[in-house]
Structure 1
Amino acid sequence: MCFMENPAPVFYAKCKHTVNVPKEPTPQMCPKAAKRSPPSWCPDPPKPTSKASSTNRLHLYMRLPLICTWFYDIVWPSITKELDESKDVVESQLDNLHTLQTNETGAISTLNSQPRTDKLEPTNTSGQFHTTQRSPFSHDPYIGLPIIGNGMTGIVLKMGERRAVKKAKKYPPGSFDDPKDMEYINKINQQTLENEIQVFERLGSYEGIIPYFQTSQYGIELALAEGDLESYLDTCAEREDSLKINWISSLIDTFAHAHSRKVFVDDIALRNILILDEKLKLADFGQSILLPPNTDITSADNDGLNVQVEILHIGWVLYSIASWRVHKYYFFNSENPDLCWPEPDSFPNVDDVLCGKVIRKCWQGEYASMENLKDEARQLLVGH
């Protein structure tokens, strides 16, 4: 509608015309609007008002809270909640920062043994290629959290009963004789974290992958698992074949998914497979390789890493589950500088082992792809 503002010259909110200021400013039509037949309010856009105008400023002040609410609820749906949670945790533990950050001994597993008690809702819900919205933290919100995992390039901190955060390991000044060494290692650790973020985004949400909720330059917020598979096999009594079969099938499906997303997992080890609600979840993708989306992964090779080498490692993981014993193996070790395939007689006999046929073919390099492995495993496990 046309309405009048103080002071003069008076502009109408939705037209370009001015009138003399009346003794008592009241809403009224401008002359042009009044001459219409029948008279009607001007639909034209408003002309910019002077700095002294109070009407537009009042309108802006009334709308600003709504704009802020829209921004945080729509653009970053969880950021307000996350910042509040992080702030509360940080403030409650700042006094213990020095003790917590230096207490790294004994933290071998990447996640605490606290069970998850309710449903988690990860941010990423699509299996398509996408980019996660990064949290606009202006500072590290994870300072002061207790360390529960300590790896080569990163550490894991506990945020609560349901969530943990993985951060790049950052060495303080004086950790190395040469400051350049410290800067170089810190840079590599940060790049490793950034690579892992990209891998999580490429893989998307999948049943066999540890859920992630939020990423930033400071870390990756993950579901807090109950432990890792290596520790579980070492400490828990052997479980029934039905659970073993479920775990073996789940892992095969998950690795097939990773390859379908053109990702070489690379660091395939029991310690990097977590347990959440008695289900296996792949984690730790810092060393993983992101191939171009149009790559034929069956013929891809990255410094000796290929589909057969990935499946070779998977075979050892499957064998560990089937035999309920920890078996560690890594193809790229100092004892194999020429990257020679293991001799057939170097593998254990798996004739009487659950899924022994599949495991043997993994070791012998007989699967051209994870899809081939998945198809044969399904046929073999149908009757179990």
Structure 2
Amino acid sequence: MRAKTSHDTNPVVEIKYSRSKQGYIGSGASGIVNRAPNGDVIKSPWPGSRNAEARRDITTESLIYERLGQHPRLIQTLGFDPESCVLTMEYMPNGTLKDFLAANNEAISTAQRLRWARDAAEGLQVVHDAKIIHCDVEPKNFLLDEDLALKISDFSGSSLEGSRASACAGRRYSRPGFDFHRQQTVSDDLFGLGSTIYFIITGQIPFEELPSDEVEKSYKDQIYPDVSGINCGSIIRQCWDSEITSAQEVYDYFRDMEYKE
């Protein structure tokens, strides 16, 4: 199953992947993403006043990919040029989980949703095992290959071995009382994982009907979307309530669910 993805050229918020064969794909906080004529994805730092920070972030991302190595839940990197700070990666033809699910929500089976939830947890555990905090766990940062296999991506703002992060998740994916000036932790990523799984299962962002500032207030009051009537609602709520201590627990939950079917 393949999907058409919308073309978003927001230069600050997030990286987007399109289905274009070459040229401009999108942009993010750290740089510009293009598709080379050979099909590879090229990430380059912003020029001008943002260049130094962008180069730092992309260099960090390259170090993280080097540490992580190859894994089915990770984007494959094909090279990094330290002089130009250009990172080369594999192309993911079905784009972001966010865009794909939004475009195909009615056609996606429960089994596929559960696989994505399981795979998101697996990918995040691989990241945490390497002493990395992703810091921006949202559907926009999970990509889908030609077989709809899910892979976690975009480590340009992540924390490596306790380094200061330069990214954070949006309000619907951030823990109550989030403070960008404090060190982010595994718990921050797990909260984002809970919200991501909610999106995967329901096809809706948490509190879709509310503006972001009201979502933040609800979270501070420990009020979350009702998950009592949805599949795997209990594990989502445990992520939100910080009752889960590792992504491995979430992965095990979905793996056990498969065995019971």
TM-score range, shorter chain: 0.7 to 0.9
- Structure 1's 328 and 109: CA in aligned 2 closer, same or farther, altered over 3 A? farther
Map Cα deviations across residues 133-178 of structure 1 (whole Å, 9 max, x no partner): xxxxxxxxxxxx722111122110111363111111113xxxxxxx
How many angstroms does 1:276 deviate by?
A: 0.7
Structure 1 residue 309: deviation in Å? Answer: 1.5
2:109 to 237, 240, 250: 240
Task: For residue 327 of structure 1, report the CA deviation from its aligned partner.
Answer: 4.1
> Aligned pair in 2 of structure 1 residues 291, 341: CA closer, same or farther (>3 Å)?
farther
Instruction: Tell me: CA distance 1:321–1:336, structure 2 relative to 1, closer, same or farther (3 Å).
Output: closer
Q: CA deviation at 1:105?
A: 4.3
Matches of 2:218 and 2:130, distance apart in 1: 27
Q: Which residue of 1 aligns with 2:39?
A: 162
Question: Which amino acid is the alignment partner of residue 343 of structure 1?
Answer: D
Please tell me whether Structure 1 or Structure 2 has the larger radius of gyration of its CA atoms: 1
Aligned position for 1:221: 88
Classify 1:327/1:215 alpha carbon distance in 2 versus 1 (closer, same or farther; 3 Å): farther
**C-alpha separation between the residues in 2 aligned to 1:276 and 1:213?**
16
Matched residues in 1 for 2:139 and 2:203: separation?
12
Distance 1:305 1:109, change over 3 A: closer
Cα gap change, 1:228/1:362 in structure 2, threshold over 3 Å: closer, same or farther?
same
State the 1:328 CA deviation: 8.5
Q: Contact (CA 8 Å) 1:230, 1:270: kept in 2 or not? A: yes
1:251 to 107, 114, 120: 120
| 1:303-332 Cα deviation digits (max 9, x unpaired) | 241122210010000000000124489xxx
In structure 1, the partner of 2:18 is 112
CA positional deviation for 1:114: 5.4
Counterpart secondary structure, 2:43: strand
Q: Secondary structure at the match of 2:34?
A: strand
Identity, % of aligned pairs?
21
TM-score w.r.t. the length of structure 2 is 0.77
1:343 aligns with 2:221: yes
Residue in structure 2 matching 1:203, options 63, 68, 74: 68
Instruction: Name the counterpart of 1:127.
Output: none
2:177 is aligned with 1:271: no
Return the TM-score normalized by structure 1. Answer: 0.54
Match of 1:285 among 155, 170, 173: 155
Q: Deviations over 1:261-299 (max 9, x none)?
A: 11101111211111112111111101111117xxxxxxx
Q: CA RMSD in A?
A: 2.9
Given candidates 201, 213, 221, the residue that maps to 1:322 is: 201
**Partner secondary structure for residue 379 of structure 1:** helix
Q: Does 1:382 align with 2:259?
A: yes
Residues in 2 aligned to 1:349 and 1:105: alpha-carbon distance in whole angstroms? 34
2-structure distance, mates of 1:373, 1:245: 11
Q: Which amino acid aligns with 2:156?
A: G
SS at match of 1:225: coil
How far, CA to CA, are the matches of 1:105 and 1:367 in structure 2? Answer: 36
1:357 aligns with 2:234: yes
Deviation at 1:106, TM superposition (A): 7.0
Q: Higher relative CO (CA 8 A, sep ≥ 6), structure 1 or 2?
A: 2
Verify: 1:308 aligned to 2:178, yes or no: no
Query: d(CA) in 1 for partners of 2:20 and 2:145?
Result: 10
Partners of 1:309 and 1:198 in 2: how far apart?
Answer: 22
Q: Distance in 2 between matches of 1:216 and 1:161?
A: 17
- Show CA shifts across 1:313-363 (max 9, x none): 10000000000124489xxx99999x997433x211111212111111101
Residues 114 and 225 of structure 1: is their aligned pair in 2 closer, same or farther, counting only changes over 3 Å? farther
> Cα offset for 1:369?
2.1
Unaligned stretches of 5+ residues in structure 1: 1-103, 116-144, 172-181, 293-301
